[in-house]
Amino acid sequence: MKNLIIALVFLSLGFSLKAQNYIPSASNLKQREWFSDARFGLFIHWGPFSIPGSGEWVMNDRKLTVHNYTNLQDFFNPIDFNAAAYVSMAKNAGMKYITLITRHHDGFSMWDTKYSDFNIMNTPYQKDIVKMMADECHKQGIQLYLYYSLLDWRREDYPHETGRTGQYSGRKGNGDYASYLQFMKNQLTELLTNYGKIGGVWFDGHWDQTQPEGSADRSSRIDWKYDEIYSLIHKLQPQCMIGNNHHLTPFAGEDFQMFERDLPGENTSGLSLQQASDKLPLETCETISNSWGYNLSDTSYKTKTQLIKMLVKASSLGANLLLNIGPMPSGKVQPEFQDRLAAVGEWLNIYGESIYSTKAGFIKPQPWGSITQKENKVYVHVLDPKNSSILVDKTPFKKITKAYLLKDKKPVKFLSKNGHTEIYTGFSTEEIDNVVVLEILN
């Protein structure tokens, strides 16, 4: 007994030492830098769950059993899918990476996997979507990140008996996490071996095993053994960034932190209880309508102005914006999404300098707007020019040598005194963002 206790203490110590000791490789650090500079990515929620037009949670929401849900496999035939067009659309929107759903909570694999029959090769379409996207991303020079659900509403070995969701699937008995973990490792090995360079893996579903949001107890009912999963990924592709949408402070081994429908530091969604990391790159993900997966009745599209302001605010907090589309079951991207993406791209063609490769502003977003910075330039984003001047407090630089509008280089008047800078605006309320560049001496 004594030996067993010593062994257990040793094992747990071993685990924590291993987890604490994660030292990102040089290529991983480089990838993190690339990611932070990228600022804008495309999230794609798409798969057989798109067919009913009720979002990606349809299996859970309509209480569908595994048996009935599996019928969708026979109908998924996205004849309008065109990887080249998807990647070009993202590039024209000014996006630098794509985060693709490879397997969502319904357990459908969008690639040719040996480890599950519920996959794209067993649909009438019979083409590996992850491969087509990966090839096209590599060809067009955009990076590919892979969304992978830790939660599975389908598999018997997923610990469904302790899960908060997926309780109408008709599964019997208890899960077997050792078996499920092996399955995930096998699939992740395929994804990180057969599809070229992968920028990162975006995990989701951890929260299925925690107490409901808002509860003080944030512990998980199962030990996910992240040290095993994360070290496998970093062994297969050291640069590959790991992020986990667990809504908690990042765990050891993670390379970026994400926020869902919230800017870092906000919690309007009720999900974002975590503090923003000051060490890891940050990302916030949002939808264009209200749904992630295709939803026939959701027409609440955000305007291009709202989307641009979101991108600006995320950048001014040092975070990327991962903006979602939920394509139609046919693979067609609805025009409402296409138009908005194109409009943000047009805006970035002019104002990209104030977004890409910038860091967070020296002050948090203000009622008038927010700030991004790069080298000797401060970009003052006047998003809401109510008054004829704006006051920027606590300016941490010695001197402003020049102030002008980014759009046309027209000089802007300012008064800088004792660490306070007043910028005289008279800005156009027609503009989404009047970007004033301050060239500074530190």
In the complex with ligand FHN, which residue's Cβ is closer, 54 or 395?
Answer: 54
Give me the least distance between CB of 56 and ligand FHN, in Å please: 5
Query: Given candidates 135, 213, 260, 346, which one binds ligand FHN under the rule CB under 6 A?
Result: 260
In angstroms, the CA 92 to CA 96 distance is: 10
Q: Does 292 bind ligand FHN (CB under 6 A)?
A: yes
Pick 56 or 254: Cβ nearer ligand FHN: 56
* Three-class secondary structure of residue 170 per DSSP: coil
Within a 10 A sphere around the Cβ of 168, how many other Cβ atoms?
15
Contacts of 392 (CB under 8 A, 6+ apart): 363, 371, 380, 420, 421, 422, 423
Q: Does 56 interact with ligand FHN (rule: CB under 6 A)?
A: yes
Shortest distance, position 206 Cβ to ligand FHN, whole Å: 9
| String marking each residue 1-40 x if it binds ligand FHN according to CB under 6 A | ----------------------------------------
Going from the C-alpha of 433 to that of each of 379, 428, 430, the distances in angstroms are 11, 9, 9
Rule CB under 6 A: say whether 285 interacts with ligand FHN.
yes
Nearest CB to ligand FHN, comparing residues 99 and 425:
99
Candidates 106, 190, 204, 283: give the one binding ligand FHN (CB under 6 A).
Answer: 204
Please provide residue 279's backbone torsions phi and psi, each rounded to the nearest 5 degrees.
-115, -35
DSSP element (H, E) containing 180: helix 177-193
CB of residue 3 to ligand FHN, shortest distance in Å: 43
Residue 275's H or E segment, with its range, is none
- Size of interface with ligand FHN, in residues (CB under 6 A): 7
Nearer to ligand FHN, 333 or 380 (CB): 333
Q: Where are the extended beta strands (E) located within 53-210?
A: 97-103, 143-149, 200-204
Task: For residue 431, state whether it binds ligand FHN (rule: CB under 6 A).
Answer: no
- Minimum Å distance from CB 260 to ligand FHN? 4
Identity of the residue, 302 or 381, whose beta carbon is nearer to ligand FHN in the bound complex? 302
Query: Cβ 264 to ligand FHN, closest distance in Å?
Result: 15
Count of CB atoms within 10 A of residue 273's CB?
13
* Complex with ligand FHN: residue 56 or 152, whichever CB lies closer: 56
Does position 106 interact with ligand FHN (CB under 6 A)? The reply is no
Tokens of 353: 């300098």
Residue 252's SS3 state is: coil
The helix (run of H) or strand (run of E) holding residue 126 is none
Applying the rule CB under 6 A, the residues between 141 and 200 that interact with ligand FHN are none
Residue holding tokens 């490789």? 25
Neighbours of 113 (CB within 10 A): 22
Give the residue with the Cβ less far from ligand FHN, 292 or 356.
292
Cβ atoms of 376 and 440 within 8 Å: the answer is yes
Q: Binding residue for ligand FHN (CB under 6 A) from 245, 291, 358, 425?
A: 245
Where do contacts with ligand FHN occur on this chain (CB under 6 A)?
A: 56-57, 204, 245, 260, 285, 292
